[in-house]
Structure formats: C-alpha cells, structure tokens
Amino acid sequence: MSPQPVQESVQDQCFGDVPNVSPNAIRIVMVGDVVGKPGMRITCDAIPALREKWHAGGIVVNAENAADGSGLRCKDYQRLVDCGVDAITLGDHAYRKREIMQILESEPNIVRPANLAPNAPGRPHCVVTLADNTQLFVMCLLGRVFMNPCDCPFRAADRELSASPTKIKLVDFHAEATSDMQIMGRYLSGRASAVLGTHTHVATADQQIIDNSIGFQCDVGMTGPHDSILGRKVEAVLQATLHSIPTPFQVATGDVRLNATWFDAERTTGRCLAIGRICLHESVLNDYLKHRGKSSMSMRL
C-alpha cells in the first residue's frame, strides 16, 4: 500500500529535513550512551525512524549505561539486537553487570574497550554484516585523561585497525577530555571512516570531516532523560555533592531524548562524505509512531 500524503507530511514535520545518503555511500548511525529504561525505550522505539527517515544502513549503540544507569544485562543486549541494532559498544562500565561477560565472549556484534588488559573478557573489535551485505568494522577505546588506568588507546587502535581489511570502520572513543578526542581523530585520519566520542553524556557541536577523510565529533551525547545530571536524578546528585553523603544515583525520568550522529561512508574507500547530528525528543518520536499506527515501547518497559 502506498503511503498516504497526509501521514507523510506529518512525518516530515516531525524530523525536519534529513539529507539524502551521499552517492555510493552507506549511512551509519551511532547512538550515544543509552541510560536506563528511558534510554532503552527511546532507542528501541527510534530504530524504525532511523532506518526510514534517516536512511540508516547500520546502527551502532553505546550501551554501557543501559542497565539502570550502569552496565548492560543479557536481556538488555537481546532487546537491542531484537529491535534491529547492528552492533553494540561499551565503555568504562563494561563489566558492571558481570552476567554480560558470557555475551561478550559468545556474541559477534558486541565489543568491550580494546585497550583493557589483553586477557579481558570479550572481543576488542567486531565486523558485522549489515542488511545490504556491507561489512562494518566496530571498535571502542577508553581515554586515559581523568579516567581509570588502561592500556594505550593509540597502540590498541593501531593493532585492531591493522587486523581488518574492511573498508568502513567506526571507532567509538569513550573518553572524558575533548583534547584527547581530537588527538584520536587526527591520529586515525585516513585509517577509519569515523571517530565518534562517547562517555561525557553531553553532545558537542563540532561534527566535521577531518582531512576530507574521517568523520569526527568529540561526543555524540546521551540517550536518556535530560532533566537530570548526566542521566541521574538531580536531587540525589546535589545531596551527595553538597553533603558528602554517599547516595544511590537513580536514573531520572524527564525530557527523554535520543542523541546520535550519522555519517556517510563511501563504499569503495571507506572515507566519510558527510556527517550530521540527531537529537530526537521522545514526544516527537511518539507523534511519528502514532501516525504510523505503532505504539511505543513505553507500555512494555
């Protein structure tokens, strides 16, 4: 059945102008740190919109905060995969839920940071086959500035990137300092399609193509509740900070948004041809779902 014009115009109003995919390229979407149930809900709800309206040929999600704000459970992994996520990256909270180690060892589409100890559970990179048979290399790395000790991310990047003949390569640099991120973007110019930052939970407006070759952004931003402090309830964080009393930081609930970055990778060379940011509010997404006759995951999560 052909789409009805009225529905189509509503969908266009929801998302504004989304550029067409560059010629001879595939568009990859990287979703920033998914926090708790609100983050899981909007991510799963948004997959059809990312495919249909943003023309995503591949979707990669940083899910280090999916399980109540810290770590990833087996059921969270399965839900993301069932919803259509192609690959999952993690960060400094990779092992916070120990049960995920079995998934990290057995499943081919999830990676732990590549610069942990050499014998750390899980794979340091993965290559996934997308719906159109494109091969996508995915890895993540931890920064060393204001972070716990880890191996050199630059040496780890050298090692893992040299191991893959795949043209299209995405590096999720999970780091705190913008200087660290910019150094990695420059360092991998010509060797990866994109270096996209995660971890700070704050999206930066510096998306760019370095050397006419590599897509770059310091941080993709957080997917979850933005009426919060980095996804946690404001009052709890304030109390802990002002009174030095250890307090559980519960995941907040208000103003849920998905933050992501898309980039178009040329199929023959892997270089980045275009890059852009996505900030999708849950209310807008729900309007889109309603006009498509679909219900939100919110009833199930």
Q: Which window, 143-151, 154-162, 196-204, 250-258, contacts Fe ion (CB under 5 A)?
A: 196-204
Instruction: Note if 93 is an active site residue.
Output: yes
Based on the shown chain and the rule CB under 5 A, indicate whether residue 43 belongs to the binding site for Fe ion.
Answer: no
Q: Which is nearer to Fe ion, 33 or 282 (CB)?
A: 33
Number of residues in contact with Fe ion under rule CB under 5 A: 5
Q: Which is nearer to Fe ion, 38 or 270 (CB)?
A: 38
Q: Which is nearer to Fe ion, 32 or 58 (CB)?
A: 32
Q: Which window, 8-16, 20-28, 62-70, 122-130, contacts Fe ion (CB under 5 A)?
A: 62-70
Based on the shown chain and the rule CB under 5 A, indicate whether residue 65 belongs to the binding site for Fe ion.
Answer: yes
Residue 25's beta-bridge partner residues?
A: 266
Amino acid (1-letter code) at residue 223: T
Based on the shown chain and the rule CB under 5 A, indicate whether residue 172 belongs to the binding site for Fe ion.
Answer: no
Q: Which of 33, 86, 151, 180 binds Fe ion (CB under 5 A)?
A: 33
The nearest distance, CB 120 to Fe ion, in angstroms, is 16
Give the CA angle between residues 175, 107, 195 to the nearest 5°.
Answer: 25
Q: Which is nearer to Fe ion, 222 or 273 (CB)?
A: 222
Tally of CB atoms within 10 A around 20: 9
The nearest distance, CB 59 to Fe ion, in angstroms, is 18
Tally of CB atoms within 10 A around 132: 9
The nearest distance, CB 222 to Fe ion, in angstroms, is 7
Q: Which window, 137-145, 179-187, 195-203, 287-295, contacts Fe ion (CB under 5 A)?
A: 195-203
Is there a contact between 53 and 11 (Cβ–Cβ < 8 Å)?
yes
Nearest to 199, CA basis, from 38, 40, 49, 33: 33
Based on the shown chain and the rule CB under 5 A, indicate whether residue 69 belongs to the binding site for Fe ion.
Answer: no
Nearest to 193, CA basis, from 135, 154, 114: 135
Concatenated DSSP letters of 34-77:
BBHHHHHHHHHHHHHHHHHTS--SEEEEE-TBTTTTSS--HHHH
Is there a contact between 45 and 297 (Cβ–Cβ < 8 Å)?
yes
Is there a contact between 115 and 145 (Cβ–Cβ < 8 Å)?
no
Is there a contact between 51 and 84 (Cβ–Cβ < 8 Å)?
yes
Q: Which is nearer to Fe ion, 71 or 91 (CB)?
A: 91
Q: Token pair 């275009």 is at which residue? A: 274
- Spatial separation of the C-alpha atoms in residues 243 and 183, rounded to whole Å: 37
Tally of CB atoms within 10 A around 142: 25
User: Quick one: tokens of 60?
Assistant: 């990669």
Q: What residues between 92 and 121 interact with Fe ion by CB under 5 A?
A: 92
The nearest distance, CB 64 to Fe ion, in angstroms, is 5
Q: Which window, 53-61, 79-87, 91-99, 123-131, contacts Fe ion (CB under 5 A)?
A: 91-99
Q: Which of 58, 91, 124, 224 binds Fe ion (CB under 5 A)?
A: 91
Based on the shown chain and the rule CB under 5 A, indicate whether residue 199 belongs to the binding site for Fe ion.
Answer: yes
The nearest distance, CB 65 to Fe ion, in angstroms, is 4
Question: Among residues 93, 125, 174, 199, which one is catalytic?
Answer: 93
Length of the chain in terms of residues written? 301
- What are the residues binding Fe ion (CB under 5 A)? 33, 65, 91-92, 199
Q: Give me the active site residues, please.
A: 93
